[in-house]
Structure 1
Amino acid sequence: MFDQLKKYLFEDQTVRAEVVSIRDTWKEIQARHDYPPAVQRLLGELVAASTLLAANIKFKGTVVLQLQGDGPIGLIVVECHADLGLRATVKLREGRAVPDDGTFQSLLNPHGGGRFSVLLDPQDRLPGQQPYQGIVALEGDSVAQALEHYMLTSEQLQTRIWLAADSGCAAGVLLQQLPKHGGKASPETTSDTDDTWERALILADTLKAEELLSLAPDALVRRLYWQETLHAFDPATITYRCTCSREKVADVLLRLGKEEVDDILAEQGRVQINCDYCVKSFDFDPVDCAELFANASASIRHESRSQH
């Protein structure tokens, strides 16, 4: 089965694996945009990576992965919920060509100003609680290496990632060495643990992109680890989900302020905002805008009276 993420645990419980294969959801993301092949590949790899990370968060909320660069690609953003509903977008710089053979560094980081960031945003934040954000320099020659660099600086667990994407599929594998439990480990136990990790890595390093892109998670794991005993967990389904709404756009207009919105209305006759992710268009005519700010003012007055 595709559009699934599956987790596996090695028999000695010292290594876990995650395998993801995304087809329909990936095609739905692409259907809304016309990205050059090199951009498509990088976006697909980040889409796969986002599900591998989101599958491990311990709260109800979202993981946002962001590649921000100073090259032809200005920004790549993928947002994935804990239940693996996701959306993605790319912003290209106008007038900058995107060659089909462009590399990770040449497209995103030619002048060394690129950044990789991970935002963890709980759905039910406590008062004053801010999302956690980690930012690192854009290291490595691929999305996988950039993410491994981030994991190395932010977590104590050994983590390796393999990613691949084309127009039909976005896929990935994550291996993580788990912490040892149950007191002080003996040298023999430590050696066995390291042996499992090394075997898992050696076999995963034989992965070819075409295997990642053509095999469902169970088939891939059987091919890689047919001599190992792994416990497989129930699969999680991946879906496309854009959370844009007219209410959220209205909040954006309120933050812009009445004066700026009036200037847009005077120039264009209406305010039109398109969602960067699903490209849905939201239109506000002069009556809509007047009503929006009138309701906001009435709400502020009501709150002020109730406080006295």
Structure 2
Amino acid sequence: MTDTDFTQRFIFDNHDARGELATLEQSYAHVLAKHDYPEPVAILLGELMAAAALLVGSLKFDGLLTLQVRGEGPLSLLVVECSSEREIRGLARYDAGRIEIGATLQELMPSGVLAMTIDPAGGQRYQGLVALDGDSLADCLNAYFASSEQLESRFILHADGRRARGFLLQQLPVAQVPQGEQREASWQHLTTLAQTLSAEELLGLDNITILHRLYHEEQVRLFDAQGVSFSCSCSRERSQNALLSLGEQDVLALLEEQNGQIEMDCQFCNQRYHFSGDDIRRIFGLDHRNDGLSTVH
């Protein structure tokens, strides 16, 4: 684990609630280094990365979590993938000429949709959708959990191009506080205090200080940190499988169009994979045929 990229869970002894804090610096920097993102795009991508890290920390599963936001404005796509091993990557697609400094989420992604997809290692794939109606990604995630999961949740997300931070509160099943008005009052008390947390405080303070500042009158237990790191799952083998899925005839045509060498790029990390005529012959088992494929050195 690095000191700059981690999630950390906390729980209240006298309330039916838990929380998670996420801090991303090096992994955020890796993602931003791959593309020259305008400031508003970089900020939203950092917030979505922080959200993914929070959710991987709170959801108990082995596999891959994907958060994807699509809109009809100058920012058409945000996508972040985070594995249960807390390996994270992300990217954005946008029209640079239409991005204005200080643009809001709704200006950048009108008529947007937020999708959360969970791909368990050995189970059934699950996806939930919610309209991008809020003023922030945090608002949209709050709405998603209220409508899709029936789980009271409060997200606070901030990023500034150097650091991405997230704060999450979630209500737990009845244990410490009885049902009814007392339970609702308990939850409102915790969320009201959380809403006093400013962007400057979340981005600038450590977790212990944040929790003391918000909940110094409560009994809060902070658990060990869990490291997060940037990692891209692309590989030459995956690119080869993508070529196989296209089919022999289409790949041969593509090889001819590209003058005897196919280049495949990973949009997440900008890694390039090159396939020559010999590579294509091997992939499709054409070594025994006189197919006229050229060899590029």
TM-score with structure 2 length normalisation?
0.91
Q: CA deviation at 1:13?
A: 4.2
1:131-210 paired onto structure 2 within 5 Å:
131-181=125-175, 190-210=180-200
In structure 2, how many angstroms separate the alpha carbons of the residues matched to 1:296 and 1:19?
A: 55
1:75-94 paired onto structure 2 within 5 Å:
75-93=77-95
Deviates more, 1:173-182 or 1:52-61: 173-182
Deviates more, 1:255-264 or 1:61-70: 255-264
CA displacement, residues 140-178 of structure 1 (integer Å, 9 cap, x when unaligned): 111111111111111122111110001110001111111
Residue in 2 aligned with 1:26? 28
Residue in 2 aligned with 1:305? none
Write the letter of the residue equivalent to 2:113.
R
2:98 is paired with a residue whose SS is coil
Residue in 2 aligned with 1:212? 202
Deviates more, 1:189-198 or 1:219-228: 189-198
1:67-78 paired onto structure 2 within 5 Å:
67-78=69-80
1:278 is paired with a residue whose SS is coil
Unaligned runs of 5+ residues in structure 2 are: 289-297
Q: CA deviation at 1:219?
A: 2.1
1:176 is paired with a residue whose SS is strand
Change (3 A) 1:221 1:257: same
Work out whether residues 6 and 235 of structure 1, in 8 Å CA contact, stay in contact via their aligned partners in 2: yes
Write the letter of the residue equivalent to 1:178.
L
Q: CA deviation at 1:209?
A: 0.5
Write the letter of the residue equivalent to 1:10.
F
Write the letter of the residue equivalent to 2:143.
H
Residue in 1 aligned with 2:98? 97
Deviates more, 1:23-32 or 1:246-255: 23-32
Residue in 2 aligned with 1:53? 55
Q: CA RMSD in A?
A: 1.9
Work out whether residues 157 and 179 of structure 1, in 8 Å CA contact, stay in contact via their aligned partners in 2: no
Identity of aligned residues (%): 36
TM-score with structure 1 length normalisation?
0.88
In structure 1, how many angstroms separate the alpha carbons of the residues matched to 2:78 and 2:287?
A: 34
Unaligned runs of 5+ residues in structure 1 are: 298-308
In structure 2, how many angstroms separate the alpha carbons of the residues matched to 1:217 and 1:2?
A: 12
Q: CA deviation at 1:101?
A: 1.6
Write the letter of the residue equivalent to 2:249.
E
1:262-281 paired onto structure 2 within 5 Å:
262-269=252-259, 270-281=261-272
